[in-house]
Structure 1
Amino acid sequence: MRTVGLSLGLALLCLLRARAEDRGVAGLDKSKIAGKWHIIALASDSEGYLQKKDKLKMAMASVTVLGDSDLKVSFAIPTPEGCKKSEAIYKPTGIPGEYYSSDRGNKTVQVLHTDGKTYAVILAFRVKDGKTYRMLRLYSRTREVRPKITALFKKFAREKGFTDKMITMLPSQEECSLDGA
């Protein structure tokens, strides 16, 4: 029985690694995701998000790779009350392209796809009050992305079960940024 369990565990690990390779994140060079990003688009199943999605604007994120493979992610998010800034540390889970943070609620993020230079598609899971919420984000080095990348984001969103009503392309904004990022 122990051999069967070990075999199944190894098969699952190989499947996860193959999925990561299919996503374009196996062997992800973390230094390529470091730096400043614009959050161009979102898709979420959170009721709070769905109620205010038409009022949201483009946010910014800055990713710093820490010495022990952790990622420090700083956010600047425009809100009606002003620019909200926050920071979280994400630790690798052992699955290529997946990180976990317990800052401000339990959150797991997966890099679904990236070209390592200009864009990244990130899926986040957050557990709050016993319920799991999902959010897909399109990160870009610039404020605008090619239509091909927008179409790729929407394809991933639909594959993950997000409807068109859950997807938002965020308008650009200048008033909220990460100083020095």
Structure 2
Amino acid sequence: MKCLPLVLGLALVCGLQAATVPLTMDGLDLQKVAGSWHSVAMAASNISLLDSETAPLRVYVQELRPTPGDNLEIILRKWEHGRCVQKKVWAEKTELPAEFKISYLDENELIVLDTDYENYLFLCLENTDAPGQNLVCQCLTRTLKADDEVMEKFDRALQTLPVHVRLFDPTRVAGDRLHTPRPCSHPACGSPVGQP
């Protein structure tokens, strides 16, 4: 009977650990992820994080910029107060090559699930203080359209996560001004970086 509290405590600790995003990348070459990307699919444990133009984590990654210290600067666009705004998020390296510490809203961890560097990159943002409650993942591609094989890989990657996430495709939302052939090209936004 004395072991019961110990067993329950261990089960609770193991259960909490299982709620974090699993690392599947053995290594990540930051220089190879540098450049332009397009958010073509999103998924979240709580769909309200993505379901409207102004949802808190409905962001569109535009560019990844490695720094000399192996950190990562993420350039993204988000619809706020009736206009498209550009934001920069700083991702600080950790001991694990595909994991970064960030400070964006309540999220504090960015994990690269998988990439082939040339075509796609899958990443997740998570609040590790409340594992599984705020988990958002994105499929980034180098072109504006992901092929079926990439989308199938993204779906399989989502199935490995410890929490149920719902897929959200911003390219199929009518009136989505941010996700067009020219991201954030709505008149209120002006031209995105690198676009005429």
TM class by shorter chain equals: 0.7 to 0.9
Instruction: Indicate the SS of the match to 2:52.
Output: helix
- Give 1:144 deviation, angstroms: 0.6
Larger proportion of helix: 1
Which residue of structure 2 lines up, in the alignment, with residue 60 of structure 1? 61
Equivalences for residues 1-181 of structure 1 within 5 A: 23=24, 25-46=25-46, 48-49=48-49, 51-52=51-52, 59-78=60-79, 81-126=82-127, 132-160=133-161, 161-163=163-165, 166-171=166-171, 172-173=179-180, 174-176=182-184, 178-180=192-194
Distance 1:129 1:84, change over 3 A: farther
- Distance (Å, rounded) in 1 between the aligned partners of 2:79 and 2:148: 25
| Structure with the higher fraction of residues in strand conformation | 1
State the superposition RMSD in angstroms. 3.0
Q: What is the aligned partner in structure 2 of residue 10 from structure 1?
A: none
Q: What secondary structure does 2:123 align onto?
A: strand
SS of residue in 2 equivalent to 1:77: strand
Give the Å deviation of 1:103.
4.5
Instruction: Report the identity percentage.
Output: 18
For these two proteins, the number of residue pairs brought into alignment is 157
Match of 1:9 in 2: none
Q: Provide the C-alpha distance between the structure 2 equivalents of 1:58 and 1:73, rounded to a whole number of angstroms.
A: 11
Q: Within 2, Cα distance between the matches of 1:130 and 1:57?
A: 19
Kept in 1, the 8 Å contact 2:126–2:132? The answer is no
**Contact 1:43/1:162, CA 8 A, preserved across alignment:** no
Q: Aligned equivalents of 2:78 and 2:170: distance in 1?
A: 12
How far 1:61 moved relative to its partner? 2.2
Tell me, in whole angstroms, the C-alpha distance in 2 between the residues paired with 1:115 and 1:131. Answer: 26
Give the secondary-structure state (helix, strand or coil) at the position aligned to 1:135: strand
Structure 1 residue 128 displacement after superposition = 8.1
Which of these two proteins has the greater Rg computed from alpha carbons? 2
> Are the counterparts in 2 of residues 60 and 178 from structure 1 also a CA contact under 8 Å?
no
Question: Could you say which structure has the greater relative contact order, defined with CA pairs below 8 angstroms and 6 or more residues apart?
Answer: 1
Determine helix, strand or coil for the equivalent of 2:95: coil
Give the gaps of 5 or more residues in structure 2.
Answer: 1-21, 172-178, 185-190
Structure 1: give runs of 5+ residues left out of the alignment: 1-18
Q: Which amino acid aligns with 2:192?
A: L
Letter aligned with residue 70 of structure 1: N
Structure-2 change in CA distance of 1:69 and 1:142 (3 Å) = same
1:127 is displaced (CA, Å) by 5.9
Query: After alignment, is 33-42 or 168-177 more displaced?
Result: 168-177
Deviation of the 1:78 alpha carbon: 4.1
**Cα gap change, 1:29/1:130 in structure 2, threshold over 3 Å: closer, same or farther?**
closer
1:80 CA displacement: 7.5
Whether the 8 Å CA contact 2:59–2:76 is kept in 1: the answer is no
SS at match of 1:102: strand
Q: Distance in 2 between matches of 1:26 and 1:86?
A: 29
With over 3 angstroms needed to count, the CA separation of the structure-2 counterparts of 1:58 and 1:141, relative to structure 1, is farther
